[in-house]
């Protein structure tokens, strides 16, 4: 059994893609233990119904996928892990950076892995999950004991039919995605527009170059490869164009009245800048302005 903690759009994508009977959601404390039925719309082909059971207290999963929001992850794992064997690999799917390291530092003896995915998923209604765009998923070890588990984790995830790759160093992948999220998500939330519309907006055009300069300095300071700010900007604009009609996860959070992941995206970059003594006025401005949208 593959257990999934977090029944949002990404959790539902994995649950519906794994072979029938293979996935179960981890029940939230105090929530009902009923199975979770929903309609799943694959990228191509007809929509179908799935009914995913919740993990029974006597069941021991071989793998735990954690698809909670970055800010909910530590609390969710504090509740769930006492019932999960200490040698069960845990794969973290959170956006941004910061939450993965918190988990690895809290449970250093467990096999903890991180995943970076470009699969697109959304949830237009509570009981509907949509696989909006086909991508790929890279998985790598965060703790020492996870290293030997990587090949079997990739095999188990591949049972879904989704494309999964093993990655010896997952951090550069997490950074690549962080750059895209830091350059798209806050602008879509502040401008309340789909991804493609930020490209012509004065707010984006004014701040994207200084933002990319900050990120390039932070990456170099954090020991990542130095990527020229123009290249970072090009990567951000390419993704904004290729996902032009999408509502970003941050805009969707604001529209639904949920807490955003800004603390783990631009907010993470601000904290990193404080640690490395690198000024981050643009990341700070974007973080503070998005935080105000939540009030």
Catalytic residue among 12, 131, 177, 233: 177
Q: Is 177 a catalytic residue?
A: yes
**Residue 137 within binding range of ligand PAF, rule CB under 6 A:** no
Which of residues 52 and 162 has its CB atom nearest to ligand PAF in the complex? 162
**Residue 232 within binding range of ligand PAF, rule CB under 6 A:** no
Residues 6+ apart with CB under 8 A from 183: 208, 211, 212, 215, 232, 233, 236, 240
> Among 17, 54, 249, 280, which residue sits at the site for ligand PAF (rule: CB under 6 A)?
249
Measured CA to CA, the distance from residue 246 to residue 12 in angstroms comes to 19
Q: Which of residues 183-222 bind ligand PAF (CB under 6 A)?
A: 184-185, 195
In terms of C-beta density within 10 A (0-12 exposed, 13-18 middle, 19 or more buried), how is residue 211 classed?
Answer: buried
**Residue 260 within binding range of ligand PAF, rule CB under 6 A:** no
Strand order in the sheet with 48-52: 48-52, 36-41, 128-133, 120-125
**Residue 243 within binding range of ligand PAF, rule CB under 6 A:** yes
Query: Residue 97 CB, nearest distance to ligand PAF (Å)?
Result: 14
Residue with the two structure tokens 């209604």:
125
Residue with the two structure tokens 């919740």:
54
> Among 156, 181, 260, 287, which residue sits at the site for ligand PAF (rule: CB under 6 A)?
181
Contact indicator for 280, 269 with CB cutoff of 8 Å: yes
Query: Residue 242 CB, nearest distance to ligand PAF (Å)?
Result: 9
Residue 287 DSSP label: H
Could you tell me how many residues of this chain bind ligand PAF (CB under 6 A)?
10
What are the residue numbers of the active site?
A: 177
Q: Which residues bind ligand PAF (CB under 6 A)?
A: 180-181, 184-185, 195, 239, 243, 246, 248-249
């Amino acid at each position: 059994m593959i257990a999934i903690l977090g029944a949002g759009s990404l959790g539902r994508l994995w649950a519906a893609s794994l072979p029938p009977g293979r996935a179960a959601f981890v029940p939230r404390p105090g929530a009902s233990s009923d199975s979770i039925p929903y309609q799943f719309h694959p990228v191509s082909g007809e929509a179908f119904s799935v009914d995913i059971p919740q993990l029974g207290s006597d069941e021991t999963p071989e793998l735990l996928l954690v698809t909670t929001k970055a800010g909910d992850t530590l609390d969710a794992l504090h509740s769930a892990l006492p019932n999960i064997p200490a040698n069960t690999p845990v794969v973290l799917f959170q956006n941004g950076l910061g939450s993965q390291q918190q988990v690895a530092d809290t449970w250093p003896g467990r096999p903890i892995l991180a995943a970076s995915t470009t699969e697109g998923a959304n949830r237009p209604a509570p009981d509907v999950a949509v696989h909006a765009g086909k991508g790929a998923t890279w998985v790598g070890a965060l703790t020492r004991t996870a290293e030997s588990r990587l090949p079997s984790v990739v095999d188990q995830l591949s049972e879904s039919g989704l494309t999964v790759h093993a990655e010896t160093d997952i951090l550069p992948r997490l950074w690549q995605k962080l750059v895209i999220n830091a350059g798209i998500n806050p602008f879509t939330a502040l401008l309340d527009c789909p991804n493609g519309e930020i490209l012509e907006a004065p707010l984006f055009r004014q701040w994207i170059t200084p933002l990319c300069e900050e990120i390039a300095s932070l990456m170099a300071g954090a020991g990542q490869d130095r990527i020229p700010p123009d290249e970072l900007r090009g990567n951000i604009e390419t993704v904004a164009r290729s996902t032009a009609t999408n509502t970003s996860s941050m805009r969707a959070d604001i529209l639904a009245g949920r807490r955003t992941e800004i603390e783990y995206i631009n907010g993470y970059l601000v904290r990193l800048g404080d640690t490395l003594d690198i000024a981050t006025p643009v990341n700070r401005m974007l973080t503070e302005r998005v935080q105000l949208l939540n009030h």
